[in-house]
């Protein structure tokens, strides 16, 4: 029981980390483009499958398409993704210059990360409820004794508390990155 709970918690935390990677923290991070999808010959294709994304300096992302003909489609997809950065196209590659964040924008971004963290905590708490309900049903069906139920519920609670602590640490690390000047 606890193995599947731990796996599901790990998935929730992995999703949170992916979502946090898309938050622009004032420094160039290729993960910023993970959710950008390009219409490539009629089918939506992830940008990272169509190009080489590099970080030549801390404030610049450089996108070098494998197929030079797709550069216009890539530029259009970046604009449509509304990541808040205007691409500059030199015909061979696209450069994204990450602007310096204002103090106000940094505070807004930390609110966003905290909301993402809260959403992850809600998901984890829902997993706790499901696990507890399952254990209580097992006890009701005679598969668990009352003492075993109490032990299992305690294990579930400790697992959830650790997951919530992990979520807080992930969010705190991202907030620290955002607030660095």
The alpha-helical segments, DSSP class H, found in 22-70 are: 47-50
Residues 6+ apart with CB under 8 A from 25: 101, 109, 174, 177, 178, 180
Per-residue pLDDT, averaged over 130-147, amounts to 89
Domain boundaries, the chain: 1-24+102-180, 30-97
Residues shown for the chain: 181
pLDDT bracket for residue 166 (50, 70, 90): very high
Assigned CATH for 30-97:
3.30.1360.40
Write the DSSP string, 112-181. Answer: HHHHHHHHHHHHHHHHHHHHHHHHHHHHHTTSS-HHHHHHHHHHHHHHHHHHHHHHHHHHHHHHHHHH--
Cα atoms in the 13 Å half-sphere on the side-chain side of 114: 7
3-state helix vs strand vs coil in the chain, percent to 5: 60, 15, 25
Name which residue leads in pLDDT, 26 or 83. 83
Among 13, 10, 31, 96, residue whose Cα is nearest residue 61: 96
70-96 pLDDT tens trace? 888 888 888 888 777 788 888 888 898
Name which residue leads in pLDDT, 116 or 19. 116
* CATH code 1.10.132.20 for 1-24+102-180: yes
CB 78 within 8 A of CB 87: yes
Taking 70 as the threshold, does the pLDDT of residue 24 lie above it?
A: no
Class of residue 37 by CB neighbours under 10 A (exposed 0-12, middle 13-18, buried 19+):
middle
What is the predicted pLDDT for the residue at 26? 67
pTM for this one?
Answer: 0.67
Among 58, 1, 65, residue whose Cα is nearest residue 29: 58
Using a pLDDT cut of 70, give the percent of the chain over it: 97
What is the predicted pLDDT for the residue at 181? 58
pLDDT bracket for residue 164 (50, 70, 90): very high
Token pair for 56? 């030549």
Taking 80 as the threshold, does the pLDDT of residue 25 lie above it?
A: no
End-to-end CA distance of the chain: 45
DSSP 31: G
């Amino acid at each position: 029981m606890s193995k599947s709970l731990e796996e599901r918690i790990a998935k929730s935390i992995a999703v949170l980390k992916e979502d946090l990677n898309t938050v622009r923290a004032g420094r160039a991070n290729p993960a910023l483009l993970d959710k950008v999808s390009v219409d490539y010959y009629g089918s939506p294709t992830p940008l990272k499958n169509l190009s080489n994304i590099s970080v030549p300096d801390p404030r610049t992302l450089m996108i070098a398409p494998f197929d030079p003909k797709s550069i216009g489609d890539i530029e259009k997809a970046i604009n449509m993704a509304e990541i808040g950065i205007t691409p500059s196209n030199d015909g061979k590659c696209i450069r994204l210059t990450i602007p310096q964040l204002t103090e106000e924008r940094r505070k807004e971004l930390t609110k966003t990360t905290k909301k993402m963290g809260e959403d992850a905590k809600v998901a984890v708490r829902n997993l706790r409820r499901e696990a507890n309900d399952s254990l209580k049903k097992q006890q009701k069906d005679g598969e668990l004794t009352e003492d075993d139920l109490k032990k299992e519920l305690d294990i579930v609670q400790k697992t959830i508390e650790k997951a919530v602590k992990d979520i807080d640490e992930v969010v705190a690390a991202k907030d620290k990155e955002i607030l660095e000047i």
